[in-house]
Amino acid sequence: MKARLKMAEQDLLYTQRHCKGDASETGLVQFAQGIMDLDKTRSENPTHVYKNDAGKDTECLIPFSSDIKFNAFIRDMSGSTDGGSDSNLSLFFKGAPERVLTRCSKILVNGEDVEFTDELREEVNKANSEFGGLGERVLAFARYNLPADKYTKEYQFDVKTWKNWGLNAKLSAADYADQDGTFPMHDLTLIGVVSLNDPPRTNVDLSVSKCRAAGIKVIMVTGDQPPTAAAIAQKVNIIKHPKMEMNYLVNEKGMSPDEAMAKCTGIVIHGDVLAAKHLEEEK
């Protein structure tokens, strides 16, 4: 019966099939399925697995977490039909643009890796800001085709303690290339950005208005980047006057941070800024 149900589901339009995962993942899956056969692509390019010193299989992936805001996979591209990765292993990155773009030194243009110049970086940042300003969630995608002479199928990729050498986004891949188990997590090639529409739940704006009427100050905590957070906060009445938000006053009106802080009626603060302030106060 289970097999018959699976077969019946395959006859449905791909947007109507059951898709497991959070909103962002299911959105990406349904978007990609319209371009390629995902089951076929995944079977041709599986996540690379090697045997460690203890003889146990180790899957080469870095799972997503809220502190790093990205995930990474090393895929075996030997079954790929596009021939774009020398039929070897490739590292794929997906995550928040501010965490991925800083790790990229090249960008894919018309199928070729070219230098990620300041002009191209500004173009990508502009697109990211425009999508975020619409309240859409933006994800960046990058890759690195690993040289086959060094990164063989038996190479023991350090996906457990990678933070010791790969967490600092300001490094270069050459800074840790001579360490055992390391692999490039910098000097990546940006593939592109994707925006997803994840609208607020119905009647959230009314709930926020009721809280305000009761004298409750509403604060939103989100994993989205600041432009997206500001747009969503405006939709749900947390920021009632977007042109009086602190960052808007600084960036668009040219006010100093102190002057903007005194006049603003709302503020969007990045978590990294909060963490730095907390550390400063603790010291």
- The yes or no reply on domain 23-196 and CATH 3.60.15.10 is no
Compute the distance between CA of residue 79 and CA of residue 66 in angstroms, rounded to an integer: 33
pTM: 0.81
DSSP-derived 3-state class of residue 66: coil
Q: How do strand 112-115 and strand 137-145 relate by DSSP bridges?
A: unpaired
If you write DSSP's letter for every residue of 96-157 in order, what string do you get? -HHHHGGGEEEEEETTEEEE--HHHHHHHHHHHHHHHHTT-EEEEEEEEE--TTTS-TT---
Q: Return the SS3 of 244.
A: helix
What does the pLDDT look like over 10-51, one tens digit per residue? 788 877 788 888 888 888 998 898 889 888 999 999 999 999
So what's the pLDDT on residue 83? Answer: 46
Q: In whole angstroms, what is the distance from residue 135 CA to residue 200 CA?
A: 10
Alpha helix positions (H), the chain: 2-10, 23-33, 38-44, 97-100, 118-133, 163-166, 204-213, 226-235, 246-251, 257-263, 271-282
pLDDT digits (tens, 9 = 90+) for 79-101: 765 544 455 899 999 999 999 99
DSSP state of 187: S
Evaluate if residue 160 carries a pLDDT over 90: yes
CA-nearest of 189, 172, 194 to 114 is 189
- For 37-46, which contacts have Cβ atoms below 8 Å and span 24 or more sequence positions? 43/79, 44/79, 44/80, 44/81, 45/75, 45/76, 45/77, 45/79, 45/80, 46/75, 46/76, 46/79
Domain boundaries, the chain: 23-196, 204-282
Nearest to 250 by CA among 236, 241, 238, 262: 262
Structural contact between residues 172 and 187, judged by C-beta atoms closer than 8 angstroms: yes
Q: CA-CA distance, 201 to 236, in Å (whole number)?
A: 9
**Longest Cα–Cα distance in the chain:** 67
SS3 39: helix
Q: What is the pLDDT of residues 231-271, one digit of tens each?
A: 899 999 999 898 899 988 998 899 999 999 999 999 999 88
φ/ψ region of 124 (left if φ > 0, alpha if ψ in -120 to 50, else beta) reads: alpha
pLDDT at 110 over 50: yes
The backbone region for 44, taken as left when phi is positive above 0, alpha when psi lies in -120 to 50, beta otherwise, is alpha
